[in-house]
Amino acid sequence: MSKRNPTPLQVGMSGTLAGRTYRVAGRIVLSMDDAGETYYWNEFFLKSDAGEEATLVFEETETGGQWRLFTLFEPDSPMTAREASAKRVGDPVHFDNRDLRVTLVDESRVEHIEGEAPEGVERGDVARYFNAEGSNRMFVVSWTGDEVECFRGADLSPRVVADAFGLPHEQLYRLAGPPRGAMFARQQNYGSKASLVFVGVVVFLVAIIVFVIVVKANAGNRRNAVIRTRAANESLASEAAAMLEGKRYRVTGHQVIEIAQVGRFHERHEYLLKDEDGNAARLICGLGATDLDWWLFTALNPIEPLTPQRAAQLHVGQKVVVDGYEAAVSEIFQARVRPATGSAPATGDIVQFGFTARGTAFVLLALWDNAAIQIHRGVRVDAKATKAAFQASVPLEATK
C-alpha cells in the first residue's frame, strides 16, 4: 500500500484558493480497484478560520499529476442513495443548471489518515461514488449507507497550487509530468524569434502527446485510459434550410470532427451552412464530450487578427479579446476533420489545433495550423427546435 505523500504540500501549511485562506488540516490516502490492481490518490483536507471546508485532490496519472479543488454543496434537487446507486456511465444528471453525463462509477476505500480527517471519515471506510462532467466542470456524488454528499470540482494548474501555498513552481511542474510540463512552459516570456521556434516545438510535442494518449487508450486500461466518446446519432439533410438567429441558412455539408485533449477523446458533428447572402457558418452539435447543446458559429474578421503563434501560447483561464469580444479560454484541443457529405472541404488528413473561450452569452472558437487561423463566434440555439426546423425542410434535390 502506498502511504507516501508525492507532493511538497504538508499538513499544517496555509494558502489561499478561490479567494479563501485554508489550512491543510489533514491528508487522506484513498484507493480503488483498477482491473485487479490498486490505484491510490491523495486528498488534502482544507479548513478555513471561518469553518469552511474543501478538499484538494492530487492524482498521479499516465499523463502526469492532476490537481482538483472540491467543495461540498447542496443541489437544488437532493439525490437519494438509491437514486445515486442506480446511475451508470453515460446516464444524464443535472447540477447547477447544467446538463451532465456520468463518466465514472466506482467505490473508494480510506487507506491512511495523517492529521485531521473530515467528520465521520475513518480508516477502512468504503464509499460508493460517481463522477459527472460537462461544460468544463466536474461533480462528484458520494454515498455511504443513506448519506449522500455532492461536491463541485474545478481543475487547478500547478502554478495556482504553488502560488497558493508558497511552493517552488519547479517542484509542482515536475509532478505534472512531461505532457503538462510542455503546456505550462508556454507561459514563459521569450524574445519574438525564440517564441516562434518554441511554439513550433510545443506544437510538435502536443502532436506526439495526443498520439501517445490515443495509443494508450487502445491498450484498454479502464482507469487511466483516455475517455472516448463517439458522436451522437444526428442527421440533417443536405440542402435543408431553416431560420436561425433571424437568418435563413441551408445545409451545404457535414463533417465529423475528432477532438483530442489530455485524458479525453471525443467526436462531434458539424454542419456547414450558408445564408442567403452566401456567408458561411457552421452548426456544431455539442462542443464537448458531455455537451448536449447546439451552437451556431459565424466567422469573425477582426482588424487585428490573432496569430497562430499567439493562439498557441494561450492557456486555460487566460482572457482573450477578439473583435471586441472578451472571453476566457476554457478548452485547448487538437482537431482532425473527417468530411462526411456535401461540399465539406477535403481536410480528412489535416490536423488543426484549437481553443474555445467562453463569454457571457457566447463562445469563441479558434482553429489554426502553422499558416493560418480561423476564429468564429458562437451562440447557443435550441437543439430540438433546430433539428425540427431543418428536418421539416424539403431538400432541393428532392424537388428535381
Is residue 173 within 8 A of residue 189, CB to CB? The reply is no
Asked whether residue 281 carries a pLDDT value surpassing 90, the answer given is yes
pLDDT, greater one: 18 or 103: 103
Look up the pTM and report it: 0.48
Reported confidence tier of residue 99, pLDDT bands at 50, 70, 90: confident
Q: Can you give the pLDDT at residue 341? A: 54
Pairing mode of beta strands 227-229, 264-275: parallel
Report residue 228's pLDDT band, with 50, 70 and 90 as the boundaries: low
Query: Number of helices and strands (H, E) in the chain?
Result: 6, 21
What is the rounded distance in angstroms from the CA atom of residue 326 to the CA atom of residue 228?
31
Q: In this predicted model, which residue has the larger pLDDT, 281 or 183?
A: 281
Q: What is the pLDDT of residues 353-378, one digit of tens each?
A: 889 999 888 999 999 887 789 999 99
- Residue 92 pLDDT exceeds 50: yes
The pLDDT of residue 263 is 61
Quickly count: other Cβ atoms within 10 Å of residue 201's Cβ: 13
| Averaged pLDDT for residues 148-167 | 88
Neighbours of 325 (CB within 10 A): 17
Tens digits of residue pLDDT in 135-155: 557 889 999 888 999 998 888
Task: Using pLDDT thresholds of 50, 70 and 90, give the confidence band for residue 334.
Answer: confident
For residue 384, the surrounding DSSP H or E stretch is helix 383-391
In whole numbers, what is the pLDDT of the chain averaged over residues? 78
Q: What is the pLDDT of residue 330?
A: 87
Least confident of 295-299, 307-311, 325-329: 307-311
User: pLDDT of 52-64, one tens digit each?
Assistant: 999 999 988 766 7
Among 47, 55, 43, smallest CA distance to 13 is for 47
Residue extents of the structural domains in the chain: 14-165, 228-399
Query: CA-CA distance, 132 to 147, in Å (whole number)?
Result: 19
pLDDT number for residue 109: 92
Most confident of 179-188, 195-204, 217-226, 387-396: 387-396
Arithmetic mean of pLDDT, 236-256: 87
- Given a cut of 50, is residue 50 above it in pLDDT? yes
pLDDT class of 262 with cuts at 50, 70, 90? low
Determine the pLDDT at residue 246.
86
| Predicted confidence (pLDDT) at residue 198 exceeds the cutoff of 50 | no
**pLDDT at 396 exceeding the cut of 50:** no
pLDDT of residue 118: 92
21-35, 125-139, 333-347, range with the lowest pLDDT = 333-347
Distance between first and last Cα of the chain:
71
- The pLDDT assigned to 387 comes to 85
pLDDT beyond 70 at 310: yes
Backbone angles phi, psi at 397, to 5 degrees: -65, -20
Which pLDDT score is estimated for 233?
60
CA dihedral of 343, 368, 210, 133, whole degrees rounded to 10: -80
Q: What is the pLDDT of residues 199-226, one digit of tens each?
A: 454 544 554 444 444 444 444 444 444 5
Percent of the chain with pLDDT strictly greater than 70:
76
Nearest by Cα to 59 from 38, 31, 40:
40
Whole-angstrom CA distances from 301 to 206, 271, 324, 361, 376 are 28, 21, 11, 20, 9
> What 3-state DSSP class applies to 63?
coil
Alpha-carbon span 397 to 400, nearest angstrom: 5
